[in-house]
A and B are shown apart, each in its own frame.
Chain A
Amino acid sequence: MGLLRPQEKKLLNIVVCMKSVPDTTAEKRLLPDGTLDRAAVSPVINPWDEFAIEEALRIREGGDGSGEIVLLCMGPENSAETIRKGLAMGADRAVLVTDPALHGSDYWATGQVLASALKGIQADLIMFGSLSSDGGGGVVYNIVAELLGLPALTWLTEVEVKDGKARGKRASDIGYDVVEAPLLAIVSVTQTAHEPRYPSLPGIMKAKKKEIATMTTGDLGIDASTVGLAGARTTVTGSERPQTARAKQVIKAEDPLSTAKAIADFLEQRKLI
C-alpha cells in the first residue's frame, strides 16, 4: 500500500479530511438532478472538521512542533476558498480533488476518492470530523479505514498521540470509553473542548502562498463512470420544505401560577401530560 510512513518517528504527519459545506444559515435548495445547489450558497469548512483541524494543530504543538499537516478535500472548485481558511488556521498545504465527474458522488465514491488520494500522502494520523453538516451520514471515515486496512477511533471528544499510538475518549451509554489504536490510524472527532482558532492576520497572509494541489479522478486512477451521479447507488426522487406550521401562540407571564396553569392546559390539550 502506498501510504508512506516517515522513518523518523518524532515527525508526526497528519492529514485532515475536510469537507466544504454550505453555510448553515443559508437557504438551501436542490437542483433538478436532486443534488444541492452548491453554487447558490457560500461554503464554509464543515464545523465538525474545524475541530479536527484544531486538534491536529494542537497535537503538533504538543509535540516537538515538527511534522506536516495536510488538508484533503474532495469538492467543487470553490472549495479552495474554505481550504484557504484551514491553511490560515495553520495547516501547511492542501490537496483538492475536484472533477465534474465527482458531482453527486455517494458515500462509497467519496470513500474511494479519499482513500486513493491518501495513498499518495505521507501520514501517521488521518483525521476527520464525525459528521458532515450537509446531509452526511458519519460513514466516510470507516469506508476509508476499511479500504486502507486501518484502525479507526471514531466519535472522539478528546484525542492525544503518544508512544506511537492514538488514544481518546468516546462517549458510551454510561459515560465514556478510552479507546486506542497504533499509528497509522484514522481518528474522527466531535466537538471538543478546544474552540477552533480564528486565523490570525499573519496566518491569513501566509496561507495565500501555501500550496493547494488539485487532482482529478484521472490523476487518482479512478474510473469516472463509477463515481458521481452516474455511479451513485441511491437517487433522490423528490424534495419538499417540511410543514413547519407551528401554532406560535405567545402568552405573557403575568403571575407564575396562572402562567403555569395555562402551559399545563396546553400540554393536556395536546395529550402531552
Chain B
Amino acid sequence: MATNNDVWAVIETDNNGKPKKLGLELTSLAAQTAREYGGQAGAIVIGPQEAAQAVGQYGATQVFYCADPQCKSDPVGPAAAVIASLISQHNPRLVLLPATSLGRDWTGRLVGKLGLGVEADVTELTVDNGKATTVTPAFNGALRVSSQFTNEGEQTGLVMVRPGTATAQKSEGAAANVQEVPVPSDAKPGMTVMESVAEKGGVPDLAGAQTIVAAGRGVGGADNLGEVRDLADALGGAVAATRAIVDMGWIPYAYQVGQTGKTVRPKLYIAVGISGEIQHKVGMQTSGTIIAINKDPNAPIFQFCDLGVVGDLHQVVPALTEEIRKRRGMG
C-alpha cells in the first residue's frame, strides 16, 4: 500500500493532560518535513481534547486524539492499537515518535502489528530528493550514522526522535481539524497500572534538560549533594549522577547518566567530582559545552571537556553558585 506525503507526530501527555514538550517539537518537525514532501502534518495525541487543540497550534492540520481512560490504566496496549489503526487507514509517509520509554514501547508494538521499519534515536531528519535521511548517534555517540528507509513511499516509516532535535514553533496557519478516535476493539493488553506513586523529591527530566550539573563520587557523601543542587538551581538546571553514587545509595537511579542510565544532550553539562570513565562518558559526550571540576589533573574527564577546573569542588562549587546568583541578579 503506497503511502501519501503526510508526516505525523505522536504525542504523549503529562499527568495534567498537557502535551509533553517533546511532542510539540515532533509536531513542528512533522510540519517542516511534510512541507518538503508537499504533504500535510498530522498528529496523534494520547490524551484529552484540550491537549489535541494545543498541539494543533504547532503546525499540524489534522489532530487525532484518544482520551479513553484505558490508555491510562494500560499505557501501552490501547494506545498502540489506536496509532496502528490510524496508520493503516491513512498511510502517512513518516510517523515521528518520542524516543522515550513509552515511545519505544509503542514503536515496538507498531512494528509487531504492521511490520514497519524504524529509525531509532534520531537527532537529525532531512529530506533530499524526496527521500528522508536520518542521523543517529550510534554506539552511544561513538559514530554518527546516517540511514534511509529502503521502502520509503511504499510503507510508513517510523522515526523515533530524541529531545532537542527540533524546536517547538507555533504556526500562523488555520486552526487544526481535531477528531476523537476510539480504542479499537482488537487492542491487546500491554500492562496494567495498579498504583501510581509520587516520589517525594520529584523526578528529574534529564532528557529534556538544557543545563545539567552532575555529581560523582568526589562529592564525598549524600549530605554534600546540596552543593551540587544549589549550583543547578542557580543555573536553572537539573541534577544528575554517576552510577558510582547511585550504587552507594546517595541518589536514586532516575538521576543516573551513562551506559545503563540515561543518555543526555544538554547545552551545558557540568561534571562535579566525576572521573569520566567510558560508561559515564557515553551518556553525556554529545552535550553542548562540558565543564569538569575535579581535583585530579589526570582524570579522564579533562580529555573531553571544554573547560576543566583542577581543584577542590567543595571550594569551587559554592563560590561558583554565589557568582552565578550574583550575575543573574538572584542576590
List residues of chain A with CB under 8 Å of any chain B CB. 22, 24-25, 27-30, 34, 36, 47-48, 51, 106-108, 111, 130, 133-147, 149, 151-155, 157, 167, 170-181, 190-191, 195, 232-242, 244, 246-253, 256-257, 259-261, 263-264, 266-268, 270, 272-273
A sample of 16 cross-chain residue pairs with beta-carbon separation below 8 angstroms, ordered by A number, consists of A51-B260, A137-B107, A142-B80, A146-B111, A146-B188, A152-B76, A170-B101, A171-B254, A172-B203, A174-B15, A175-B196, A191-B246, A237-B147, A240-B143, A257-B319, A263-B320
Q: How many residues does chain B have at the interface if contact means C-beta atoms less than 8 Å apart? A: 102
Q: Are B149 and A28 in contact (CB under 8 A)?
A: no
Q: Which of B63-71, B86-94, B166-174, B299-307 contacts A (4 or more CB under 8 A)?
A: B299-307
List residues of chain B with CB within 8 A of the CB of A248.
302-306, 308
Interface of A is mostly: mixed
On whether the beta carbons of A133 and B150 are closer than 8 Å, the reply is no
Contact status B155-A233, CB under 8 Å:
yes
Q: Is B312 in the interface zone, CB < 8 Å from A?
A: yes
Identify the stretch in B28-36, B50-58, B278-286 within 8 Å (CB) of chain A at 4 or more residues.
Answer: B278-286
B-side contacts of A172, CB under 8 Å: 196, 203
Enumerate chain B residues within 8 angstroms of A252, measured Cβ to Cβ: 309-311
Instruction: For the complex, give the distance between the alpha carbons of A237 and B129 in Å.
Output: 15
**Inter-chain contact B108/A146, CB cutoff 8 Å:** yes
B311 x A253 contact (CB < 8 A): yes
The answer on a CB contact under 8 Å between B323 and A261 is: yes
CB-based contact A239/B311 at 8 Å: no
Instruction: Name the distance in Å between B284's Cβ and chain A's nearest Cβ.
Output: 12
Q: Which residues of A contact B203 (CB under 8 A)?
A: 171-175
Give chain B residues whose Cβ lies under 8 Å from the Cβ of A153.
Answer: 191
Report B94-153 residues with CB < 8 Å from chain A CB.
Answer: 99, 101, 104-109, 111-113, 115-121, 133, 136-151
Tell me, yes or no, whether B189 is within 8 Å of chain A by CB.
yes
How close is B329's CB to chain A, nearest CB, in angstroms? 11
Instruction: Give which listed residue, B101, B120, B150, B304, contacts A130 with CB less than 8 A.
Output: B101
**What mask results when residues 228 to 246 of chain B are scored 1 for a CB within 8 Å of chain A, else 0?**
0000000100000001001
From B1-9, B176-184, B218-226, B289-297, the one touching the partner chain is: B289-297
The reply to whether B146 and A236 form a contact with Cβ atoms under 8 Å apart is: yes
Of A36, A145, A234, A253, the residue contacting B108 (CB under 8 A) is: A145
Given contacts A236-B146, A242-B286, whether A260 and B196 have CB atoms under 8 Å apart is no
Q: A135-B138, A139-B104, A251-B307 are in contact. Are A108 and B117 (CB under 8 A)?
A: yes
A135 pairs with B192, CB closer than 8 A: no
| Known pairs A142-B109, A152-B190, A236-B147 / 16 extra A-B pairs, C-beta < 8 Å | A27-B142, A107-B111, A130-B101, A138-B101, A141-B108, A142-B105, A142-B111, A146-B108, A173-B14, A178-B193, A237-B146, A253-B310, A253-B315, A259-B315, A266-B307, A273-B328
Complex-state Cα separation, A155 to B142, whole angstroms: 25
Q: How far is the CB of A242 from chain B (nearest CB, A)?
A: 5
Q: How close is A229's CB to chain B, nearest CB, in angstroms?
A: 10
Distance between Cα atoms of A180 and B121 in the complex (Å):
28
CB pair B247–A195 under 8 Å, yes or no, is yes
Inter-subunit contact B324/A264 (CB<8 Å): yes
**Bound complex: CA A124 to CA B116 (Å):** 29
Q: Which residues of A contact B316 (CB under 8 A)?
A: 253, 256, 259-260, 263
Least Cβ distance of A203 to chain B in Å?
A: 23
Q: A140-B108, A195-B247, A237-B133 are in contact. Are A154 and B118 (CB under 8 A)?
A: no
Whether A178 contacts B117 in the complex (CB less than 8 A), given A24-B278, A151-B190, A251-B307, comes out as no
A259 to B314, CA, bound (A): 13
B150-164 CB mask vs A (1 if < 8 Å, else 0) is 110001010010000
How far apart are the CA atoms of A227 and B124 in the complex, in Å?
27
| Given A36-B139, A249-B308, A260-B322, CB of A146 within 8 Å of CB of B109 | yes
Q: Which residues of A contact B106 (CB under 8 A)?
A: 142
Q: What is the CA–CA distance of A173 and B18 in the complex, to the nearest angstrom?
A: 13
Q: Which residues of B contact A138 (CB under 8 A)?
A: 101, 104, 108, 120
CA distance A36 to B146 in the complex (A): 14
Which residues of B are found within 8 Å of A256, using beta-carbon distances? 315-316, 318-319
Is A111 within 8 A of B111, CB to CB?
yes
B304: which A residues are within 8 A, CB to CB? 244, 246, 248
B261 within 8 A of A: yes
Bound CA span A83–B293, Å: 40
Residues of chain B lying within 8 A (CB to CB) of residue A106: 117-118
B263 to chain A, nearest CB (A): 9
Residues of the B chain whose Cβ atoms lie less than 8 Å from the Cβ of A175: 196-199, 203
Contact in complex: A191, B256 (CB < 8 Å): yes
Tell me whether A260 and B323 are in contact (CB under 8 A): yes
B68 to chain A, nearest CB (A): 18
Indicate if the CB atoms of A239 and B260 lie closer than 8 Å. no
B268: interface (CB < 8 Å): yes
In contact, A154 and B327 (Cβ under 8 angstroms): no
| Contact between chains at A241 and B104 (CB < 8 Å) | no
B331 at the A/B interface (Cβ < 8 Å)? no
The CA-CA distance from A51 to B260 in the complex, in Å, is 10
Contact between chains at B327 and A273 (CB < 8 Å): yes
Residue numbers in B under 8 Å from A236 (CB-CB): 145-147
Residue pair B15, A238 in contact (C-beta under 8 Å): no
Q: Is the CB of A135 within 8 A of B307?
A: no
